[in-house]
Each structure stands twice: as C-alpha cells, then as structure tokens.
Structure 1
Amino acid sequence: MNIYDIAKLANVSIATVSRVVNNSPKVSPKTKEKVLAVMKENEYTPNAFARGLGLGSMKTVGIICPNIDDIYMAKAVSYLERNLHAHGYDCILGCSGFKQEEKVDYVRLLLSKKIDTLILVGSTYAGNGKDESDTDYIREAAEQVSVFMINAKVSGDNIYCTYADDFQATYEVTKAFIRRGKEKILFMYDSESYSARQKMAGYEAALQDAGYPIRGNLKFKTKNDIEYTRDMLLEYNRTLDFDSVLATEDGIAIGAVKYAKIKGLAIPEELAVVGYNNSILAISSDPELTSVDSKLGVMCKKTVERMIDLLEREIQIEKNVCVPCEIVRRCTTDF
C-alpha cells in the first residue's frame, strides 16, 4: 500500500493525501477525515516521499528531450516554456541523447534539482517496445515527482501521457493513397520508437483492410536527413518498386521528393509523397509537401494544463490523452 493507492481509494489527489499527512490547513475537515479513515483502514504508514509532496513548490519544471537541434524538439520546448511561464513556472532543460544510460542519467540529474515535475519530450523515452525494463527509470522517477510524457506512452503510477493519434493518421494517408490507385506504397522511417511503431501499424492496418499484401521490401529504414534519404533511394532504385511514399518525418519525405526530381518522375502523378509533423520544411519544399500535422502545440498545451490541474488545483486528471492529427494537403498528393 502506497500513497497512490490511498489517493485512489479516497478519490483525491496524491498532493491532498500528502497535505493530510503534513496536517496542512489547506485540506477541508471533511476531506481530511475521509483520507485519515482510508489510511487507518489500510494501516498505511506515510514515508518521506509522501510527507515531502505536501511541502512548498519551487515552481520549476524539468524538461528533457533527446536533442534540441531537431525542429520537432525545438518547437516542443518553445511551446512548453511559453505555457509554463504563463502559469508562473520556470523550467530547466536537459538534452539526453538517445542512449539508454544517457536518458537515465539525465532524469536523475534533473530530479536532483528539486523540480516540481518532469516532462519528457519524444517517443524515444517509451523504449523500443520489446523490453519494459527500458522504462523502469521513468517509474522510479515518478515515485519522486509527477512525470508527464509528450508523444510517448508509458504505464505506471504518477505518469501522465499525451500523444498524437499516429495510428489513425497513417491509416488515413495509406487509405487515401489506395483510393487514388497507388498499390506500391513505400513506408520510410528512421527509428523503432513508440511513435514510429504506431505509424507503421496504421500503415499496415490500412493495407490489410484493403486486401493488399504487407511487403517487407516496402518498409525502408533511413535517417531523418534529406540528402541521405535521396542518396539511399537512388542507390536502391533497382530493387525498390514504389509509386508513393509515406514518411515518418518531413525531412525523409523531402529526400523522396528530391529523388523523384533526379529520376524525372512527375509529382504527384508518378510519385505521391506525404511527410510528417507539418514542419517548416513542408512549405519550403518544391513542390510544397503534404504532411501530417501531429498537433504538437496542442499536446504541449494539454500537458501543461493537466500539470497545473494536478499540482495546484488537486484535480484528478486523465492518465492518457490521445490527440487527433490532421492531414495538411499540398502539392505532393492529389487526394
């Protein structure tokens, strides 16, 4: 029995349980009586963590992302900082990289800074889907502060996730390709992250529902780099036969656009291309790129709003929030 169990049984927030433990005047007598009754009934003995939750706030949030030079990550941090400042919170930023040990070390480092909560940006923090122990460090962190995740989903007490509906987005794009007569849809990705797995699953589900085979040679791993992707497609040109491209990043998709220009393929008639994240690259492309808007700004806003509800208003919040995406149609598709 821990503080999360007591909060659940009493139908209050963990912060409320902690205030009762600390005999805070901010809790109504009725609520205090209810929580104490649940604690007594379950023979709960508060530990140092439970007592510490009710103490004063530093109004500081830790934010960790893999790397700030990525357009998606930079925008996420900008959105978060703006929303946090609006509520009077400062933030400490750490860039962990993608290696497991680096991610663990950065989480521990920010926890040592006496932050009020921790926000992890990016699906890399949800592990590779093969070993749940990859995310044990997040559950351990959540024993000290609430942990919010953006575009990732991890189970555990005191962990709250907001993520894009990537499955539905790629399902809809793939179905749109099929309706326009595309039969050889190349899926291009750069990782096995939570988000990438959801995107691939949507792509595969749409093919299956249409009665199309899932061809392993049409799932092509590359780097999120325009020139690298272009050159890889040119190198494998003789073994790859495709009439459309669905990429998990705008940079990858533009690499396919540049490949088409070199090969003299008409876009979108001979090669249709869709990217992801609706970044500035999409409108910088020639022709302008159709791209899935994963609503990053909405995810960041919802994350901060739920954090405030949890920390300050003591409102029970949803563990997982899924945000619908939008397909922004431009010149590289005709659907």
Structure 2
Amino acid sequence: MSNANIKDIAEIAGVAISTVSRVINNHPDVSEETRKKVMEIIEETNYIPNNSARNLKRSNSKDIGVLVKGIYNPFFAKIIQSIEEKVAAHGYTMILHYNNDNVNDIEAAIEFVKEKKLKGLICLGGNFSNLNESHFEDLETPLVLASTDLEEERKKAFFSSVSIENEKAAYEAVNYLCKLGHRKIGIITIGEEDQCVGNLRLKGYKRALECNHISFDESSKEIGEYTFESGFDALNRLLNRVQDLTAVFVTSDIMAIGAAKAILNRGLRIPDDLSVMGFDGIDYAKFFHPSLTTVNQPGEYMGKRSADILFDIIKKKKEHQHVILKTELLESESCKKLI
C-alpha cells in the first residue's frame, strides 16, 4: 500500500487518527503496545508522513482551513464567503474541506491540519463534545468553532468560538408559537451527529413548553439531518404518528422547507392546517411559499468574527475568545394565530 495515508494506518491498526499522529510525533501518552503496532504498520505500508511528520511545526504556512460539517446546509455559504474575504485581506489562502457525515469531526480536523500544514482552522458545525487536551496537542494550531456549541466550560480554554445562545433562541421560537395559541407543537431536530446544537435547541423547545404549562410528548419529536429530503421524510413520519399537531418547530431552515413540502404534498395548507417555524434565516426561507417564520442567525458577521479571532491568536494579539451573537425572530407567512 504505497499510497497509504494516516487514515489508512489508523483503520488497519484499529485506533484513532489522533493516536497515529501521537505515535508519529513521539507523544508520551501512547501505550508501548499501541506504539509498536502502529510503527509496524507504518513500515509495512511504506507510509511516509507529509513532509516528514517530524517537521510538522508549520511556521511558514499561509493556509487557513475551513472544515464544514456536511455539504448540504446553505446556512454556511455566507459564513464561508465572509471568512474567505477576511483571510485574503490578511494575505493568507483559505482551504475548504467538507467532512463526510460518517467521519468523526475531531479526527477529520486533525487529519486536515496535518495534511495541509494549516496555520489555523475554523470549523463550521459538527460535534466536538469529546474534545480534550490531547486533541489540541495533535492539532498544534489555533482553532475556532463557529455555529456549534460546547456545554462544558472547562474545555473552552483550548479553543475559541463564535456562536449563538441556541437554547434561548429555540425557547423564544417555540414560546412565540405558544403565544399564538398552539399547544400541540411537534419538533424535528438533529440526532447523534450534532449533539451540541441539536441538544440545546431541543432543551429550548422543552423549556418553552414547560413555561406554557404544556407537557412534552416524546411522540411529537422526530430526528432529521441537514437536507431537504430528511425534513420531508421526518415530517411524514411525524404526521403518520401524531395527527393533532397544529405547529412544528424545525431546528434548521433547510429541513423546515423539506417539511413544508411534505405538508403541502398531503393536501394540507400552511399555516391554516399546520404552522411551521424554522431556524437559521437562509435566503431559501424568504423565497419559499409560504415564506418561513424563522430564527435569523447573523451568518456573515459570524464568519467575519471567526476570522478576526483566529488572526488575533495567530498574530499573538489575544488569547482565546468566546463570542455570543444575538439572533432575531423573523415573522413571516408560515405561522398562524389560533382563535
């Protein structure tokens, strides 16, 4: 296997990519048995680490990486554009990489940094709940998480972030539906691959129900992914199971548009038969008919702040920062007040 890469080595050895990286870079926190096994596989496959892994202290790199979770969420488009503009203004080059949904986000980030010798990395979306100190030693480069969230404060000393108050924003969206008179409100949210943001928005949904004296019903929850098709399928499953819903909160606009299409395909009307609340504020939400009521995230500004923070760290101006941006509920045509 002359073209083996670090991922191949990890798969053959049955260990994480980060473990292979630690072996290559002689980190002490690897068992002797694992170290020997990995080194034997490296020799057998004739694996040559990029530019010799021992020279991975990349002082001359002018490349900034942007790692995007999935390829279907148009919310990231404006963020990426604003990051690229900032990166170019600093005389650097942006390298964009889309992570497959089946690949661990932390390991994908480490491999991306190593292979491209990145000077800094911005991650859009993804699940980084299992980040620990050894991962940051492997990365050896400044990291900014944008449009994702970690609930554990102790980990925030190792990276920067630009995010929103996901739980609060979801609470306000569902509370808005409650104030319109809705009491049977379903939710379509994200599953295992987005535990951070998905869990926080689910918490906000539950808290809004509780504050309005509405009991949470597990049967009113469905799981989707960031695609039109997933929202379409999830809404159909939800309505097959629960027939008396009057509204549904969907935790991304792209899923909400798919869900709305499923509603219309059943001969139902929006919002007369079922109100739909989205989340993100993408352009599609405005031009879909009926236009979606949604929670607007400041995507363009999120991208600019992420890049600014990254370059502050690269140029040793500041330590890690954690910025919380405000959201706005955009009222439109997809939600109806009940009499």
Is contact 1:80-1:300 (8 Å) kept?
Answer: yes
Q: Distance in 1 between matches of 2:266 and 2:259?
A: 11
Q: How does 1:94-105 map to 2 (within 5 A)?
A: 94-101=97-104, 103-105=106-108
User: What residue is the counterpart of 1:173 in the other structure?
Assistant: 173
Q: How does 1:206-245 map to 2 (within 5 A)?
A: 206-234=208-236, 236-240=238-242, 241-245=244-248
* Residues 1:86 and 2:89 aligned together: yes
CA displacement at 1:69 relative to structure 2: 4.2
User: What residue is the counterpart of 2:260 in the other structure?
Assistant: 257
Alpha-carbon distance change, 223 to 69 in structure 1, aligned in 2, over 3 angstroms: closer
Alpha-carbon distance change, 135 to 221 in structure 1, aligned in 2, over 3 angstroms: farther
Is contact 1:165-1:323 (8 Å) kept?
Answer: yes
Q: Show CA shifts across 1:33-79 (max 9, x none).
A: xxxxxxxxxxxxxxxxxxx98x9553321221123443133433222
Question: Percent of aligned pairs with the same residue?
Answer: 21
Whichever residue aligns with residue 161 of structure 1, its letter is S
Q: Which moved more, 1:175-184 or 1:228-237?
A: 228-237
Q: How does 1:1-335 map to 2 (within 5 A)?
A: 56-101=59-104, 103-122=106-125, 124-127=126-129, 132=130, 138-142=135-139, 144-154=140-150, 155-192=155-192, 193=194, 194-234=196-236, 236-240=238-242, 241-312=244-315, 314-318=317-321, 320-334=322-336
Whichever residue aligns with residue 298 of structure 1, its letter is Y
Is contact 1:138-1:147 (8 Å) kept?
Answer: no
- With structure 2 as the length reference, what TM-score do the two structures score? 0.72
CA RMSD of aligned residues (A): 2.6
Is contact 1:97-1:103 (8 Å) kept?
Answer: no
CA displacement at 1:173 relative to structure 2: 1.0
CA displacement at 1:152 relative to structure 2: 2.3
Q: Distance in 2 between matches of 1:175 and 1:69?
A: 29
**How many residues matched?**
275
Q: Distance in 1 between matches of 2:238 and 2:213?
A: 27
Q: Distance in 2 between matches of 1:66 and 1:235?
A: 25
Alpha-carbon distance change, 222 to 153 in structure 1, aligned in 2, over 3 angstroms: closer
Specify every segment of 5 or more residues in structure 2 that has no aligned partner in the other structure, as ranges. Answer: 1-55
Whichever residue aligns with residue 210 of structure 1, its letter is N
Q: Distance in 2 between matches of 1:223 and 1:112?
A: 29
CA displacement at 1:180 relative to structure 2: 0.9
Q: Distance in 2 between matches of 1:227 and 1:90?
A: 34
Q: Distance in 2 between matches of 1:288 and 1:239?
A: 26
CA displacement at 1:108 relative to structure 2: 2.3
Is contact 2:221-2:238 (8 Å) kept?
Answer: no
Whichever residue aligns with residue 82 of structure 2, its letter is Y
User: What residue is the counterpart of 1:30 in the other structure?
Assistant: none
- With structure 1 as the length reference, what TM-score do the two structures score? 0.73
